[in-house]
């Protein structure tokens, strides 16, 4: 596997020409600190746990992929590719095409590199708000990522810029009343005396847009043929142990980073897990998904 560095790519004006690795099969991972919107905030994930437990995200993502009408020769961007479980399915659908996976998390990209080893794919460390692409893709696919980006207007402008004329976006992320019950419990717990010193000033790291709001922002960014919808997508976890692991690593990792001791972090998640045991069904997560699509002229 060949690893290219950023300087080389920049010097060849690789992205700006819109040419993406036509030619031989290889994977590259940029060993650079990407230009980030919020450099102070760690964007890292426990990628091996995400890879193992992301069945809900993979199931939702598969439904998004099933809506694509692909010829098989497109050049596509998987925006916020994570560990590459869905990227692999996109690659399989493009025998004559090419997929670039972009993500801000090194851990996610390293896991994706291992998962996609040998595949015809490129992996790029990049912030979706500052994508280093211009008129480069026939389409952009994104699943379970956009709600981690707080400025959707800048996000959609960055995505539109990366698309060729006639290019399209098919995406899904958290939206509407996503995780309202869990967030309400987290908010109450965060205000108690044990956690308030660490979490009182913490603001949620997500933006859950409504369908109309998202449609408006897509149009403002220059997308046409915009369609958006919100749907319930509850996930039921097996037991208390899986719930704790899932919530700690996939939903509340940014919150937990604010709590300085392991003992207190465990107590925080154990309290939420005890509350989730009383739900009907127990250990269910009240997920809602926002579907977004549009194209550029
Ligand atoms: C829940 S994971 C989804 C991964 C994959 N698309 C899936 O459906 O399994 C969200 C991903 O979005 C990435 N992400 C969040 N904010 C980002 C940003 N500003 N730029 C690039 N990637 C970002 C995270 O690093 C993470 O890998």
pLDDT in tens, 151-202: 999 999 999 999 999 999 999 999 999 999 999 999 999 999 999 999 999 9
By residue range, what is the domain housing residue 58?
Answer: 6-176+205-233+286-295
Q: What is the pTM of this model?
A: 0.90
14: pLDDT strictly greater than 70? no
Q: Give the pLDDT confidence of 15-33 residue by residue, as tens digits.
A: 443 333 333 333 444 444 4
Q: How many domains does the chain have?
A: 1
Report the percent of the chain where pLDDT is more than 70.
Answer: 86
> 169 lies in a domain?
yes
What is residue 9's predicted lDDT score, i.e. its pLDDT? 44
Nearest-atom number in ligand 1 for the CA of 37 is 19
Protein residue with least CA distance to atom 20, ligand 1:
127
84 Cβ below 6 A of ligand 1: no
What HEC string does 113-138 produce?
Answer: HHHCCCCCEEEEECCHHHCCCCCCEE
Ligand 1 neighbourhood includes 119 CB (under 6 angstroms): no
- Check if the beta carbon of residue 233 is closer than 8 Å to that of residue 289: yes
Domain assignment present for 99: yes
The answer to whether residue 157 sits within a structural domain is yes
Is residue 127 lining ligand 1, measured as CB closer than 6 Å?
yes
81 ligand 1 Cβ < 6 A: yes
Q: Contact 287/174 with Cβ under 8 angstroms?
A: yes
Q: Whose CA is nearest to atom 10 of ligand 1?
A: 145
Per-residue confidence (pLDDT) for residue 182, from 0 to 100: 98
Q: What is the mean pLDDT of residues 137-144?
A: 98
Q: Which residues pair with 77 in a beta bridge?
A: 100, 140
Q: Is residue 112 part of a domain?
A: yes
In short, whether 155's Cβ falls inside 6 Å of ligand 1 is: no
Compute CA distances 11 → 8, 14, 15, 216, 218, whole Å: 5, 7, 10, 38, 33
pLDDT of 43 reads 81
Rounded to the nearest whole angstrom, what is the distance from the C-alpha of residue 81 to the centroid of ligand 1? 6
Q: What is the mean pLDDT of residues 276-288?
A: 97
The chain-wide mean pLDDT, for the chain, equals: 89
Peptide bond just before 281 cis, omega within 30 deg: yes
pLDDT reading at 144 higher than 90: yes
Q: Name which residue sits closest to atom 25 of ligand 1, judged by CA.
A: 105
Does 211 fall in a domain? Answer: yes
Q: What is the pLDDT of residue 31?
A: 40
- pLDDT tens column, 196-230: 999 999 999 999 999 999 999 999 999 999 999 99
CA distances, 224 to each of 63, 121, 217, 218 (Å): 22, 29, 11, 8
Q: How far is the CA of 277 from the centre of ligand 1 (A)?
A: 29
Residue 137, domain CATH: 3.40.50.150
Residue 272 included in any domain: no
87 Cβ inside 6 Å of ligand 1: no
Tokens found for residue 135: 């008129």
Asked whether residue 117 is assigned to any structural domain, the reply reads: yes
Q: pLDDT digits over 240-277, tens only?
A: 999 999 999 999 999 999 999 999 999 999 999 999 99
The finding on whether 54 has its CB within 6 A of some atom of ligand 1 is yes
Q: Is 172 in the pocket of ligand 1 (CB under 6 A)?
A: no
Cβ(108) – ligand 1 distance below 6 Å: yes
- Nearest-CA residue for ligand 1 atom 16 is 148
How many helices and strands in the chain, by DSSP H and E?
12, 9
CA geometry: angle at 197 spanning 196 and 202, to 5°? 70
* Residue-level pLDDT at 17: 38
pLDDT category of residue 39 using cuts at 50, 70 and 90 = very low
Does ligand 1 come within 6 angstroms of the Cβ of 80? yes
- SS3 of 243-289: the string is HHHHHHHHHCHHHHHCCCCHHHHHHHHHHHHHHHCCCCCCCEECCEE
How far from each other are the two terminal CA atoms of the chain, in whole angstroms? 37
Could you tell me if residue 257 is inside a domain? no
- Quickly state the pLDDT bin for 90 (edges 50, 70, 90): very high
Residue 61 Cα: closest atom of ligand 1: 8
Q: Which two tokens stand for residue 103?
A: 């993500």
Dihedral angle over CA of 78, 47, 56, 152, nearest 10: -50
């Amino acid at each position: 596997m060949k690893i290219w560095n950023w300087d080389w790519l920049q010097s060849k004006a690789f992205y700006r020409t819109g040419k993406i690795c036509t030619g031989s099969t290889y994977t590259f991972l940029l060993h650079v600190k990407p230009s980030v919107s919020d450099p102070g905030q760690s964007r890292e994930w426990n990628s091996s746990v995400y890879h193992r437990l992301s069945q809900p995200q993979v199931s939702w993502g598969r439904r998004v992929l099933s809506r694509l009408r692909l010829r098989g020769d497109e050049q596509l961007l998987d925006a916020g590719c994570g560990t590459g479980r869905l990227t692999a399915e996109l690659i399989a659908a493009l025998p004559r095409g090419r997929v670039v996976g972009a993500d801000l998390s090194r851990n996610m990209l390293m896991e994706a590199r291992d998962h996609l080893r040998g595949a015809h794919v490129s992996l790029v460390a990049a912030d979706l708000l500052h994508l280093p692409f211009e008129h480069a893709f026939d389409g952009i696919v994104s699943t379970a990522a956009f709600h981690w980006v707080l400025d959707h207007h800048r996000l959609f402008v960055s995505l539109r810029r990366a698309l060729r004329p006639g290019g399209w976006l098919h995406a899904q992320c958290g939206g509407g009343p996503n995780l309202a019950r869990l967030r309400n419990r987290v908010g109450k717990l965060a205000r108690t005396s044990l956690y308030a010193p660490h979490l009182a000033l913490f603001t949620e790291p997500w933006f859950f847009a409504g369908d109309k709001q998202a449609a408006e922002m897509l149009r403002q960014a220059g997308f046409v043929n915009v369609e958006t919808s919100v749907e319930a997508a509850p996930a039921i976890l097996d037991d208390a142990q899986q719930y704790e692991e899932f919530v700690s690593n996939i939903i509340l990792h940014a919150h937990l980073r604010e709590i300085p001791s392991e003992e207190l972090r465990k107590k925080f998640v154990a309290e939420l897990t005890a509350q989730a045991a009383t739900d009907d069904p127990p250990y269910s997560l009240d997920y809602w998904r926002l579907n977004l699509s549009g194209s550029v002229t």
